[in-house]
Structure 1
Amino acid sequence: MTIRGLGQDDLPEVLDIECQGYSFPWSESIFRGCFRPDYRLWALEICDRLSAYAVVAYMAGEAHLLNLCVAAGQRRSGAGRRLLRHLVAESARDGMSQVLLEVRDSNTGAMDLYVSEGFSIIGRRPGYYPGGREREDALVMALAVDNQCGYHGPP
């Protein structure tokens, strides 16, 4: 597994993975809007194939993880954990004080990953995510990072 910066030329593969992972995927224009100086976009490759990506926005000294998705065939392989650890470590190196994210209330697999990496639930956003007939709540999670020493993994 290798991690590198995500480029606009990766978008066809990103959109394919996005559609595999979400009922309400981001559009190409949303991804294109993320290529800006205050965002960090990461690609994880396995055997030279894009297998996961993450989009992080830096705002007011905090890193906000907006999207992390792993290709269907690579789930439960450690790819998501490796990418998460990378973006947390980079956020610490860039001087961010914490990493924030929202996760669907029903996405227990993602929540288990985040909790195992030291994230805590700090709030709830009712109706945050689109759903079938009704919208779904998001749990807001946070992880403080020590930007003096960097990130060293969960406690």
Structure 2
Amino acid sequence: MSTTVTLVPMTRAHIDLLLPHEREMFGTEAWSASSYRAELADTRLRHYVAAEDATGALLGWGGVMVVAESAEILTVGTVPAARRRGVGRLLLTALLAEAVRRGATEVFLEVRVDNDAALALYDGEGFARLGVRRGYYDAGRVDAVTMRKELPA
């Protein structure tokens, strides 16, 4: 895999590329193709990006929703072969920048309590842990950590 990573607006063409990874990575929480199509259609509130290598291969994707001054990171996924190369951080940085561009002053997210890599990323990016939502993931078997970050004005 090339070390060059480019962020591009996520399109419907990316959906077929990400779905096998979505199911593998998110299991019972995986989104469907129709869910992604609906998300991409709502450009007023939502913004999605995809990370590609120099050959155009999909490395990851992410989305944010902004309503008034609050943003929510909806999803961030890095394909297994591209992990530990900064792709997730690059996606998160782009989503946070878009939230600021759209006027958000704070951003929220939920992450599985057992997703150590994601927790480390969000902790490192200045997110504060607000609490735990019991049974939020995997049909009630896995808790979620709720997190918040203030954004610059």
Render the CA deviation track for 1:74-98: whole Å, top value 9, x for unaligned.
Answer: 0111100111111111211211111
Q: What is the correspondence of 1:5-154 to structure 2 with a 5 Å cutoff?
A: 5-24=9-28, 25-35=30-40, 36=42, 37-47=44-54, 48-131=56-139, 134-147=140-153
The total of aligned residue pairs comes to: 145
**Is the contact between residue 63 and residue 95 of structure 2 (CA under 8 Å) also seen in structure 1?**
no
**Is the contact between residue 133 and residue 143 of structure 2 (CA under 8 Å) also seen in structure 1?**
yes
TM-score (norm 1): 0.88
Render the CA deviation track for 1:56-81: whole Å, top value 9, x for unaligned.
Answer: 11123211111100001001111001
> Structure 1 stretches (4+) deviating beyond 4 angstroms?
none
Percent sequence identity is 32
**Is the contact between residue 17 and residue 52 of structure 1 (CA under 8 Å) also seen in structure 2?**
no
Cα root mean square deviation, aligned: 1.3
Unaligned ranges ≥5, structure 2:
none
Select between 77-86 and 22-31 the one with higher mean Cα deviation. 22-31
**Is the contact between residue 121 and residue 139 of structure 1 (CA under 8 Å) also seen in structure 2?**
yes
> Higher helix fraction: Structure 1 or Structure 2?
2
Separation in structure 1 between the aligned mates of residue 21 and residue 9 of structure 2, nearest angstrom: 17
SS in 2 for 1:68: strand
TM-score (norm 2): 0.89
